[in-house]
Amino acid sequence: RRLPERASLKNRRDSYCARHWRGELSLPVSLWINGNLISLALAALVMAVAATDAVNEMPRWFAAGGVAYWLLLAVMTVWQLVGVWRSAGKYLAAGKSKCWGRLAMAMVILGIFASIFSLSTVGVPQTMEFAQLALGRDPIGSYQLRLLRDGTELEVSGAIIFGLTDEVAKTLDGNPKVKIIHLNSHGGRVGEARRLRNLIATRKLATFTATGCFSACTLAYAAGERRLIGRNASLGFHQYAFPGVRQRAFRRQ
């Protein structure tokens, strides 16, 4: 008799996570708290972090956090679904309501398909993007800075990526005669383009594009005290984009 008692005591002392995984928690706790409430809390946390300026202030740390989040979410999703399924099975085996037990199992099956879809269409693309950013390699390209006309003009060409505005500010500090900034870019990170826009407005620079200014580049271009454009150049505008994010999400920005 003592062996079963010791086993029961050990089970009670097991971690909460282990008990959920084995389906030993009650079905309401497994389904509504571990299966739904925790997911809502994670979603709220992501929204709170996204509302901050962390992506612009600490882009590499933010990206590393994005990778960690998707890995954690993948593991937690498996933990949630397995625990709810096992708890529902024990719930039915105990002769309790077949309606609630089968409903919980149906929700697990739907959750499996929803999770596979979310991870494949959003999680994988974002993890790949975040991983490159965390390693300091922006997949959209690089940029070049060049002083022109005896140091009175500065050309920015290439992609607008994290760190560009700081480099432009340093160059302007070292070359106070710069009055015009050339923007020849296919675009890049919106947050960085906004920082560059603010810098241009603060320094009261004129903006000019000789070859073209597209996408996020136009945010910085529009901040010019005077806006000049080459005869064969053009401006290009389009909606924001990020891997795995639907266009309607940006309309709320």
pLDDT tens for 81-113 read: 999 999 999 999 999 999 999 999 999 999 999
Quick one: which of 235, 176, 167, 174 has its CA closest to 204? Answer: 176
pLDDT in tens, 158-181: 999 999 999 999 999 999 999 999
How far, in Å, CA of 143 to CA of 168, rounded?
11
CB 182 within 8 A of CB 153: yes
Q: CA angle, corner 184, sides to 179 and 188, nearest 5?
A: 115
Confidence of residue 11 (pLDDT cuts 50, 70, 90): low
b/e code 72-81 from CB counts within 10 Å (16+ = b): ebbeebebbb
Residue 73 has pLDDT above 80, yes or no: yes
Q: What is the enclosing helix (H) or strand (E) of 229?
A: strand 227-229
